[in-house]
């Protein structure tokens, strides 16, 4: 039986990879005689540094504390780890689940993340020093400045349990926590099924730490992912993965409580973060080909992929490790593309989840890789459109 399923799984995964990943990227990383280059898997990226993570993969999102230390990031075994630049190593900071049995160590965390936790969106409250966490399985959590076991803040809204918490941001002026639940039906480890199904059960929510209350701001969203508060707090931007677009939800002005399309993107967006130089960085998981639109417009074809006799998300993950290339974009406050950086090699960076700009560096995350990326910026590091 297994031998019969293998060809089917391989063919299905290849088809999905062809649909969701592209090979169209043309960007050469700049080189400099003064840069501290590092050779990783045979590729010299000059100012691009790879920072390995032991025992886990997938630094999906980054956060820096109020002292500027970090970054902190969540990884596949449910830990949140902190980078210490002086010691050049990661330290354990927190965990999102009290159940640590069979969580750590070199194994397929895809099979245990529902019990060990999978921390995704992260952000520190600048006033309290607390770290808020959107864990895909454990819900909305918080942990103090000293770390340890995170405490659950909320697991449902309007009596509907969270199924796939994802993006998170905090308004530094008000302390309000904004976060997304990507689906009411599909869990994180079935994210590809969520895209193919085209379902719209995602929600945008707000948590007020003062009154300890969760409110739903928007419903019927298509895989809402990353979320970010604008500089003056008058709107939110939400990455809607399935539709390959960024939507703007108004918090203030006469449009408060409504949302609109902010930008159409060439691929599937994950997280979105403010740039200290203005605008917003978006991590693109994969480029979208025209055939994907065709599949979603033909429910029977999408149903074929959903009913394949194996885990299509896991199969696609394995195949995408050698297909597809990385793409990051910076958008202006009006949704215009300012910068776009693409991986020419297609070997080491793909499935980009986030870009966090800090002190002249871009910290680049990925849900599949066993390392964090640190890209030193200079004037030649961009392709400006």
Q: Which residue has the tokens 């592209």?
A: 22
A 10 A CB-CB count for 321 gives 13
Buried b (16+ CB within 10 A) or exposed e, 117-150: bbbbbbbbbeeeebbbbbbbbbbbbbbeeebeeb
Average pLDDT, the chain: 83
**Average confidence (pLDDT) over 339-344:** 81
- Work out the angle at residue 288's Cα, subtended by the Cα atoms of residues 258 and 22, and round it to the nearest 5 degrees: 155
Query: Contact at 8 Å (CB) between 96 and 112?
Result: no
Please state, in angstroms and as integers, the Cα–Cα distance from residue 380 to each residue in 26, 107, 137, 163, 345, following that order.
15, 40, 41, 42, 18
CATH among 2.120.10.30, 1.10.510.10, 1.10.3720.10, 1.10.10.1800 for 45-376:
2.120.10.30
**Average confidence (pLDDT) over 376-385:** 55
Sheet-wide strand order for 165-170:
165-170, 177-181, 202-208, 213-221
d(CA 30, CA 32): 7
**Average confidence (pLDDT) over 347-374:** 89
pLDDT for the residue 15 = 54
- Taking only the tens place, the pLDDT of each residue in 131-158 is 999 999 999 999 999 999 999 999 999 9
Q: Give the pLDDT band of residue 246 (cuts 50, 70, 90).
A: very high
- Taking only the tens place, the pLDDT of each residue in 59-93 is 999 999 999 999 999 999 999 999 999 999 999 99
Phi, psi of 60, rounded to the nearest 5 degrees: -75, -40
- Taking only the tens place, the pLDDT of each residue in 283-321 is 998 887 666 667 666 667 666 766 666 565 665 665 555
Which is higher by pLDDT, 6 or 131? 131
H or E element at residue 287: strand 280-287
């Amino acid at each position: 039986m297994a031998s019969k399923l293998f060809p089917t799984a391989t063919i299905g995964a290849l088809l999905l990879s062809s649909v969701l990943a592209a090979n169209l990227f043309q960007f050469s990383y700049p080189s400099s005689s003064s840069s501290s280059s590092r050779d990783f898997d045979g590729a010299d990226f000059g100012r691009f540094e790879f920072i390995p993570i032991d025992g886990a993969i997938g630094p999906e999102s980054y956060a820096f504390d109020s002292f500027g230390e970090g970054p902190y990031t969540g990884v596949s075994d449910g830990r949140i780890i902190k980078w210490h630049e002086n010691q050049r190593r990661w330290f354990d900071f927190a965990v999102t689940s009290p159940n640590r049995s069979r969580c750590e160590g070199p194994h397929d965390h895809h099979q245990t993340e529902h019990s060990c936790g999978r921390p995704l969106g992260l952000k520190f409250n600048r006033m309290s020093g607390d770290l808020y966490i959107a864990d895909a399985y454990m819900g909305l959590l918080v942990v103090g400045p000293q770390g340890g076991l995170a405490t659950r803040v909320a697991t449902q809204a309007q009596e509907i349990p969270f199924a796939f918490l994802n993006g998170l941001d905090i308004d530094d002026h008000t302390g309000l926590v904004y976060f997304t639940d990507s689906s009411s039906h599909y869990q994180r480890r079935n994210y590809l099924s969520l895209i193919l199904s085209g379902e719209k059960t995602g929600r945008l929510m707000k948590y007020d730490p003062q009154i300890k209350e969760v409110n739903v701001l928007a419903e019927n969203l298509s895989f809402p992912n990353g979320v970010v508060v604008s500089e003056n707090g008058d709107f939110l931007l939400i990455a809607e993965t399935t539709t390959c677009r960024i939507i703007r939800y108004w918090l203030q002005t006469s449009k408060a409580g409504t949302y609109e399309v902010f930008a159409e993107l060439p691929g599937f967006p994950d997280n979105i973060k403010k740039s200290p130089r203005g605008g917003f960085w978006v991590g693109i998981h994969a480029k979208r080909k025209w055939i994907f639109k065709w599949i979603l417009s033909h429910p029977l074809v999408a149903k074929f992929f959903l009913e394949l006799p194996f885990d299509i998300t896991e199969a696609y993950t394995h195949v995408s490790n050698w297909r597809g290339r990385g793409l990051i974009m910076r958008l202006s406050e009006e949704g215009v593309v300012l910068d776009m950086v693409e991986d020419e090699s297609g070997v080491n960076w793909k499935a980009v989840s986030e870009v966090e700009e800090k002190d002249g560096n871009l910290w680049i995350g990925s849900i599949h890789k066993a390392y964090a990326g640190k890209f030193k910026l200079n004037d030649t590091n961009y392709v400006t459109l």
